[in-house]
Amino acid sequence: MQSFLPAEKSLELFLTDLITDKYGKDTDPSLVDEFKHDLLPRLDKWILLKTMTEVAKHSNTDLQTLQKMTEDNKPAGEVQKFIQSIITDPSAFMTKTLLEFRQTYLTAS
């Protein structure tokens, strides 16, 4: 399994809890690792899409700016600062985003 970056450690724990909630505490650890490996890119895309949707609600110009920043591979800190200038409560936004992902995952067949 891939090694998670320190910044992604909390997402790894979130996914572990999510998998445990869906499949139970007795799930084989190698299977949990396989699920996490599969789910992390999906969660990253989910967060990205929710972020872009939120930025687009603010203005189309801001969405274009964000797209340009990512296309130009601007430093993560610069992109994060820009997003935080639009999403005024990033903690609440991330909590809501993760809860929506959790609900979607747990109710999927």
The token duo for 101 is: 């992902």
Give the angle 2-70-95 at the CA atoms, nearest 5°.
65
In a domain, 46, yes or no: yes
Exposure letters 81-108 (e unless 16+ CB within 10 A, then b)? ebbeebbeeeeebeeebbeebbeebeee
The pLDDT, as a whole number, for residue 3 is 42
In a domain, 23, yes or no: no
Confidence class of residue 103 from pLDDT cuts 50, 70 and 90?
A: very high
Confidence class of residue 1 from pLDDT cuts 50, 70 and 90?
A: very low
In a domain, 34, yes or no: yes
Domain span holding position 79: 8-18+28-103
Tell me how many domains the chain contains: 1
Per-residue pLDDT tens digits for 42-99: 999 999 999 999 999 999 999 999 999 999 999 989 998 999 999 989 889 999 999 9
The pLDDT, as a whole number, for residue 88 is 87
In a domain, 67, yes or no: yes
Confidence class of residue 2 from pLDDT cuts 50, 70 and 90?
A: very low
Per-residue pLDDT tens digits for 20-43: 999 999 999 999 999 999 999 999
Is a pLDDT exceeding 80 seen at residue 4?
no
In a domain, 68, yes or no: yes
